[in-house]
Chain A
Amino acid sequence: DAGITQSPRHKVTETGTPVTLRCHQTENHRYMYWYRQDPGHGLRLIHYSYGVKDTDKGEVSDGYSVSRSKTEDFLLTLESATSSQTSVYFCAISESSGRTSGYTDTQYFGPGTRLTVL
């Protein structure tokens, strides 16, 4: 299995509080992604990173920010958590993406973080 960990694995928080989720990889892969998964919606991309300090928005980025100061760590921050952000959050990594070649490598996923916002 690819070396990807997420922390925390479970979190319950209150509306209006900031929350930071961490994704850590030991594979030295360049690309990292944050997804959320909700019933009826499948996996939706929040943000992704194509290198240290290089990030871009996905389809559901409102209310989220990310940072990547080291290759191995990708942080997702909910600036002011809302109940609509209750979800399962998955981090993923890939060695390359179609950003330059049009072909995307396999993505490897972390175990997920279950976030409940009350």
Chain B
Amino acid sequence: RKEVEQDPGPFNVPEGATVAFNCTYSNSASQSFFWYRQDCRKEPKLLMSVYSSGNEDGRFTAQLNRASQYISLLIRDSKLSDSATYLCVVNSPGGSYIPTFGRGTSLIVHP
């Protein structure tokens, strides 16, 4: 089982829709969590960190569920410019604490 798993999608939604992605992780000792955004043929960029109490940044809300070992990203009022791949990142301890990336979820927002 891969340490960090995401549904690759694509999620195809109309402008203005609300869409949510989940990301599951296997190591219960994982301590830090992030969502990155990657546009086609570009480098990943941090979208938001995920805090235990949940956090919001404008139209984006991130949640952490330690009991079920998943994080989520909710996007409200989707814009065309939200079309991208969203990468889940988990700090997976096991000696080196190097971040582990999920394979990403593709989002396509259409008019």
Residues of A within 8 A of B (CB): 33, 35, 40-45, 48, 56, 58, 90, 97-99, 102-104, 106-112
Q: With a CB–CB cut-off of 8 A, which chain A residues contact B87?
A: 42-43
| A/B pair count, beta carbons within 8 Å | 62
Closest partner residue, chain B, to A96 (CB atom): B97
Tell me the smallest distance from the CB of B66 to a CB of chain A, in Å: 14
Q: With a CB–CB cut-off of 8 A, which chain A residues contact B49?
A: 106
Residue contact A104 to B91, C-beta cutoff 8 Å: yes
Residues of B within 8 A of A (CB): 31-32, 34, 42-46, 49, 87, 89, 91, 93, 96-99, 101-104
Q: With a CB–CB cut-off of 8 A, which chain A residues contact B104?
A: 42
User: Most chain-B CB neighbours within 10 Å: which of A42, A106, A109, A111?
Assistant: A42
Closest partner residue, chain A, to B33 (CB atom): A104
Tell me the smallest distance from the CB of A41 to a CB of chain B, in Å: 7
Tell me the complex Cα distance, A104–B101, Å: 13
Q: With a CB–CB cut-off of 8 A, which chain B residues contact A110?
A: 43
Known: A42-B87, A98-B91, A98-B99. 7 other contacts (CB 8 A): A33-B98, A42-B102, A42-B104, A43-B87, A48-B96, A107-B44, A107-B89
Tell me the smallest distance from the CB of A66 to a CB of chain B, in Å: 14
Tell me the complex Cα distance, A83–B69, Å: 37
Residue contact A43 to B98, C-beta cutoff 8 Å: no
Residue contact A43 to B101, C-beta cutoff 8 Å: yes
Report 23 cross-chain contacts, Cβ distance below 8 Å, ordered by A residue: A41-B103, A42-B102, A43-B44, A48-B96, A48-B98, A90-B43, A90-B44, A97-B97, A98-B32, A98-B97, A98-B98, A99-B97, A102-B93, A103-B91, A106-B49, A107-B46, A107-B89, A108-B46, A109-B43, A109-B45, A111-B42, A112-B42, A112-B43
